[in-house]
Amino acid sequence: MAGTLDGQGAIVTGGARGIGLGIARRLAAEGARVVIWDRAPEAFDGSFAPALVSRVDVADLAAVEAGFAAAVAALGAVDILVNNAGINGPVVESWEYPPEAWRQVIAVDLDSVFYGCRAAVPHMRARGHGRIVNVASIAGKEGVPGISAYSAAKAGVIGFTKSLGKELAGSGVTANCIAPAMTETELFREMTPEHIAAMKAKIPMGRFLTVPEIAAMVAWIAGPECSFTTGFVFDLTGGRATY
Ligand SMILES: NC(=O)c1ccc[n+]([C@@H]2O[C@H](COP(=O)([O-])OP(=O)(O)OC[C@H]3O[C@@H](n4cnc5c(N)ncnc54)[C@H](O)[C@@H]3O)[C@@H](O)[C@H]2O)c1
């Protein structure tokens, strides 16, 4: 059966596990050839056959540029870039937040998105086609107490994506982002039932987001049918954010 992404080349950052792995697997199921970038590629479980799995620290501009050249060599062309890699950082109030940790969270969650787009956009513009999907968060819209660096970085991803989408309008390249709420992943095993219940209570649909739901939305944004939307923030919050 023909997939919606047959013949396309895709990079998914932070694709060795979690949400990134779910996205990478779904893009591959739609027919894309997928390159995974991760700072810990050994975590990849082999659950599908990527074109390449590279060790890339997305907070390092030189590593991103080298990773992009390797991806082009492996794929021939890059049609899709999903900037998914991210870290939470410590949970501590802003006035106690260690400056080192602040810099690291901004580097991994925001600088990385700029670096990835900086590497990919000239290639995509030259081909007159491209789909960039940046993974932001509901935290970037609402601001979550205790994770101010993460919230600031994700708000930055949203602002950056809006600028980039406008810069690229008319080029055949779209840039959008997604804003997921808390997602059911292995991390849940480390949380108390009380904490999980408190988080669920914030979601009008009364349940958590799942990785396949994120992957399905990203596959659609990255595909040919999503042709007239750019610079947009796609919601994945079960009704929590209605803006
Ligand atoms: N899990 C959630 O509930 C949730 C909600 C909203 C947004 N998000 C966002 O989704 C994305 C993925 O989150 P996840 O829950 O799958 O996290 P995760 O920790 O399970 O996976 C993140 C992946 O990114 C990789 N990574 C981290 N730093 C990197 C770096 N510097 N260079 C390259 N790779 C790096 C890790 O090795 C890992 O494989 C993140 O951007 C996160 O902020 C997650």
The domain ranges of the chain are: 9-234
Mean pLDDT of the chain: 96
What is the best residue among 11, 13, 17, 19 to mutate for testing ligand 1's pocket, by most ligand atoms within 8 Å of CB? 19
- For 210, residues 6+ apart whose C-beta sits below 8 A from its C-beta are 183, 184
Residue 15's contacts (CB-CB under 8 Å, 6 or more residues apart) are 21, 23, 24, 34, 36, 37, 38, 44, 50, 82, 84
Q: Is the CB of 58 under 6 A from ligand 1?
A: yes
185 lines ligand 1 (CB under 6 A): yes
CB of 180 closer than 6 angstroms to any ligand 1 atom: yes
Residue 215: per-residue pLDDT: 98
Q: Which residues of 169-188 are buried (b: 16+ CB within 10 A; e: fewer)?
A: eebebbbbbbbbbbbeeeee
Name the residue with tokens 């513009």: 125
Measuring from atom 18 of ligand 1, which residue has the nearest CA?
A: 18
Cα(126) to ligand 1 centroid in Å equals 30
CB atoms within 10 A of CB 61: 16
Spell out, as residue ranges, where the chain has pLDDT lower than 70.
Answer: 1
Annotated catalytic residue 115: no
Residue 187: predicted pLDDT: 75
- CATH number for the domain formed by residue range(s) 9-234: 3.40.50.720
Ligand 1 pocket member 178 (CB < 6 A): no
| pLDDT at site 1 | 61
pLDDT of residue 131: 98
Say how far apart CA 150 and CA 142 lie, in whole Å: 11
Catalytic pick from 97, 115, 150, 243? 150
Where are the extended beta strands (E) located within the chain? 9-13, 33-38, 52-55, 80-83, 130-135, 173-180, 183-184, 209-210, 233-236
Q: What pLDDT does residue 189 have?
A: 81
Residues across the chain = 243
